[in-house]
Amino acid sequence: MSKFLMKIIIILSILFFLAVIWMTGKYLAEREFDRQVDTLFKNSGEIQNKNFQYSQLQNLPEPVQRYFKLVLPEGQPYISYIRLEHDGQFKIGPDKKWTNIEGEQYFTTQSPGFIWKGSTNMFTARDMFLSGKGSLTVSLFSVIKIVDAKGEKYDDGELLRWLAESVWFPTNFLPSDNLRWTAVNSDQAELIFTFDKKELNYLVTFNQNGEIVSFQTKRYMNEDSLEIWEGKVSSYKRINGMLIPTMIEAVYKLKTGDYSYAKFNLKNIEYDIPQRFK
């Protein structure tokens, strides 16, 4: 056997070995994701026999009343489980380039929780608030874990994400034992949410039509940097009788300028589908 042929065989063997490792890693990551989704929904019950009524809006700030009258029909059942898909762009740093991303996300409302998986041609990220804890993991090619972040700051940050993204299932914004609205002015109100001895808040801005256009709070950008964070939502469409945004942008408002790092376009959303969520 010639040396050239031997080199070709060695190269092909290495490539085959790497392909097997990649496929195995991807399969195991998918299995883990499925297990996490199962845990998410087992941790949260279904909201039964609870429907939205306009009478619930009494004493709420005027822009909040305007919002609910616009986005929810009277009699709308409270939502328990959500699945969505999106595409869009993502940027890993202020000086980095945008990359295309596709995402899949699951939410629960009876007990706060979500799991998000975002995939690019280079990495897979997994963001979640599961069993009362937040975490972020990032893996190159779905195999090599390069970020594995958790702790109290991530608990708060992921719960804040769940709260803002409730704009996709607006019954979750209705007043409850854990959630309240306070007046600010004719176009803004403060959203306050308590959970497990935590109190989180957003300054929410509404347009004249009643649509929410932005959420603003303080959120850790990394372990040491607490920054102003803003979520911008737009392009509302009526889906399953509810008016929800189909575009969302996440921005850190830094002293050096705005750092927009995520622009997602909603492709599909499903609510309370028994065969998937049980």
Residue 45: the pLDDT is 87
Ordered per-residue pLDDT tens for the chain, 278 residues: 566 666 665 565 565 555 555 565 565 667 788 899 999 999 898 998 999 999 999 999 999 999 999 999 999 999 999 999 999 999 988 999 999 999 999 999 999 999 999 999 888 999 999 999 999 999 876 667 788 899 999 999 999 999 999 999 999 999 999 999 999 999 999 999 999 889 999 999 999 999 999 999 999 998 788 999 999 999 999 999 999 999 999 999 999 999 999 999 999 999 997 545 44
Nearest-10 Cα torsion for 130, 235, 229, 222: 50
Tell me how far CA of residue 219 lies from CA of 113, 159, 226, in angstroms. Answer: 18, 11, 5
Domain boundaries, the chain: 3-277
Residue 16: the pLDDT is 53
- 3-277 CATH choice from 3.40.50, 2.60.120, 2.50.20, 1.10.1660: 2.50.20
pTM over 0.75: yes
Residue type, 168: W
Would you report the helix, strand and coil content of the chain in percent, each value rounded to 5?
30, 45, 25
* Residue 193, burial from CB neighbour count under 10 angstroms (0-12, 13-18, 19+): buried
| DSSP labels, 185-224 | ETTEEEEEEEETTEEEEEEEEE-TTS-EEEEEEEEESSSS
